[in-house]
Amino acid sequence: MSSPEPQTHDFIRDIINEDLNTNKYKGRVHTRFPPEPNGYLHIGHAKSICLNFGIAEDYKGKCNLRFDDTNPTKEGDEYANSIIEDVRWLGFDWEDRLFYASDYFDQMYEYAVQLVKCGKAYVDDHSADEISKYRGTLTTPGRNSPYRERSVDENLDLFERMKAGEYADGEKVLRAKIDMAHPNMNMRDPVVYRILKESHYRAGDKWCVYPMYDWAHGLEDSIEGITHSICTLEFENHRPLYDWYLDQLGVYHPQQIEFAPLNLTYTVLSKRMLQELVMGKNVNGWDDPRMPTISGMRRRGYSSTSIRDFCSRIGVAKVNSILPMEFLEHCIRVDLNKTAPRFMGILNPLKIIIDNYPEGKEEEINAVNNPEDPTAGMRKVPFSKVVYIEQDDFMEDPPKKFYRFAPGREVRFRYAYFITCNDVVKDNDKVIELHCTLDPETRGGNAPDGRKVKSTLHWVSAAHACDAEVRLYNRLFTVEDPAGQKVHDFKEFLNPDSVQVLSSCKVEPALNDLDHFDRFQFERLGYFCVDPDSTKDNLIFNRTVELRDTWAKIQKQQNQ
């Protein structure tokens, strides 16, 4: 389970320490982050990025950024560019080591020819259906293909012609000749090359045979001199094949190590599913603030520091688990509490008229920018006769435990004055404004006679306020594990209330000076950030997280 403290030690670092002790790689530590450019990166990838680049940093080694772009059908520049932006934004540097698997296509093909020449690969005319029929099951062995015993020369000739484009997609494949009865299904003569008459976003039309993942990945690692090839648990069963290929070729052999992928409640961490949400317009693109993508989280207001902090606290394990979203949100709050300047903003305005305050007068009230950061200083907030407060900070007929504003009651307007509510103006049944008086002796928010009030409200001066649109985000899904709901499609569990747009908010004028993506706190309401679509005439803020931290409660439940 996740730890409140950053982890500096894990089983992967144990392996590396041991390899350094035995001088297995001559003191080198070289990792890589190998995304396929077929979607945007998500928080699970951030875990892998922090692990791979983090290890390189810790051991003064190297980490490559490598596009594993061996499948022409789903890949593209938009994805590759977004990946570059996201890894940089997270704060990692691959120096001059940005690599593309597609640059190794020639070499991968030559290695396949070598495999054929040593009798370890053959061209099979079986269709995909026949191949899977012959493969057997977990409990029954497979059967040899009738094409398995072709001569080396025939195989070389056929493979060459596959490459030359003489056959249609699916007509032939190149397969490794291993063991059709192997207990590990991945070892039952896996496909090495298939025919795909598709142009590749980088290699163009040069190729019509493309390598399969298992063939390509180990070769990429080997070519780049990777020492520790770190991947997620689902590749554990592929490791024997990874090793077999490299052993047959007799080339440099990195060590594959598997760790448990990150799973988070109330979201999905699968590129395919995220793509489905984007294509189906269930969200407004890959960077929608509800998405668990790095670009979505950036737009939501998560800082790269807090994402890295989260990744270091969750640690690295060998067993699958699903982590509470509340823990991620906790890490975001810890960071924002320290760094986010405070402002006042009103989401649902209720007009307050201060009857004993002169018409046309205005004052500048001193406000603390961030009580958690003594260097953040103070700012001036304008105050005048008409101000706004939140509608739900007032009740005409309050129940016992409601301590905020009510007729006849005195409260503090933060940093400003003690204010008493005298009259309620209504239109039909709706409260539309309150007439109040202030006590001029309480300027700054304290009474010289020492009298206390039970509540402090935030407020904004009507004459000075800026209009703003505020988007309140909630969980994208209504259940903890939408992807694990067997018979049901995960999209059935989308939360219909995952975003609420408030378009008549009033905020203090200082908000106008912020830049896109700047993060701040609206006092009493939560952490927010400036949306990249925001303009001076049309301010747009996204709620990052609410203030209330529910992690401690969740942790308590888990420990019971």
Residues engaged in binding ligand ATP (CB under 6 A)? 34-36, 38, 44-45, 47-48, 231-232, 261-262, 269, 271
* Shortest Å distance, C-beta 294 to ligand ATP: 12
Residue 213, classed as helix, strand or coil, is helix
Nearer to ligand ATP, 229 or 420 (CB): 229
Nearer to ligand ATP, 431 or 483 (CB): 483
* Shortest Å distance, C-beta 44 to ligand ATP: 2
Handedness of CA 14, 19, 22, 26 (dihedral sign): negative
Nearer to ligand ATP, 306 or 461 (CB): 306
* Shortest Å distance, C-beta 32 to ligand ATP: 9
Nearer to ligand ATP, 271 or 330 (CB): 271
Nearer to ligand ATP, 34 or 72 (CB): 34
Nearer to ligand ATP, 48 or 306 (CB): 48
* Shortest Å distance, C-beta 72 to ligand ATP: 14
* Shortest Å distance, C-beta 215 to ligand ATP: 15
Nearer to ligand ATP, 2 or 48 (CB): 48
Q: Assess contact for 156 and 107: CB atoms under 8 A.
A: no
Nearer to ligand ATP, 86 or 393 (CB): 86
* Shortest Å distance, C-beta 421 to ligand ATP: 52
* Shortest Å distance, C-beta 270 to ligand ATP: 7
* Shortest Å distance, C-beta 278 to ligand ATP: 14
Q: Assess contact for 539 and 467: CB atoms under 8 A.
A: yes
Residue 366 CB coordination number (10 Å): 12
Q: Assess contact for 87 and 291: CB atoms under 8 A.
A: no
Nearer to ligand ATP, 220 or 410 (CB): 220
DSSP H helices, 62-211, are 77-89, 105-117, 128-134, 152-164
Nearer to ligand ATP, 38 or 145 (CB): 38
Q: What is the DSSP letter of 41?
A: -
Nearer to ligand ATP, 310 or 415 (CB): 310
Determine the residue type at 391. Answer: Q
Burial class of 137 by CB neighbour count within 10 A (0 to 12, 13 to 18, 19+): exposed
* Shortest Å distance, C-beta 261 to ligand ATP: 3
- Calculate ∠ Cα 144-149-153, nearest 5°: 145
User: Rounded CA gap, 520 and 370, in Å?
Assistant: 10
* Shortest Å distance, C-beta 507 to ligand ATP: 37
* Shortest Å distance, C-beta 83 to ligand ATP: 8
DSSP class per residue in 456-491: EE--EETTTPEEEEEEEE--SBSSS-GGG-TTS-GG
Nearest-10 Cα torsion for 303, 305, 311, 314? -100
Nearer to ligand ATP, 101 or 511 (CB): 101
* Shortest Å distance, C-beta 372 to ligand ATP: 32
CA 325, distance to chain mean position in Å, is: 12
Q: What is the DSSP letter of 508?
A: -
* Shortest Å distance, C-beta 279 to ligand ATP: 15
* Shortest Å distance, C-beta 447 to ligand ATP: 55
Nearer to ligand ATP, 232 or 348 (CB): 232
Residue 304 Cα distances to 52, 299, 333, 335, angstroms: 16, 11, 13, 10
Residue 153 CB coordination number (10 Å): 10
- Nearest residue (beta carbon) to ligand ATP: 44
Question: What token pair was written down for 15?
Answer: 């392996």
Q: Which of 42, 50, 44, 66 is nearest to 8 (CA)?
A: 50
Helical axes 43-58 vs 77-89, angle rounded to 10°: 60
Q: Assess contact for 256 and 226: CB atoms under 8 A.
A: no
Name 67's Cβ contacts closer than 8 Å, sequence gap at least 6: 34, 35, 36, 37, 80, 83, 99, 100, 101, 102
Q: Which residue has the tokens 């950061």?
A: 373
Q: What is the DSSP letter of 2?
A: -
Nearer to ligand ATP, 275 or 337 (CB): 275
- Calculate ∠ Cα 10-13-16, nearest 5°: 155
- Strands in 191-195's sheet, in edge-to-edge order, are 121-124, 173-176, 191-195, 209-211
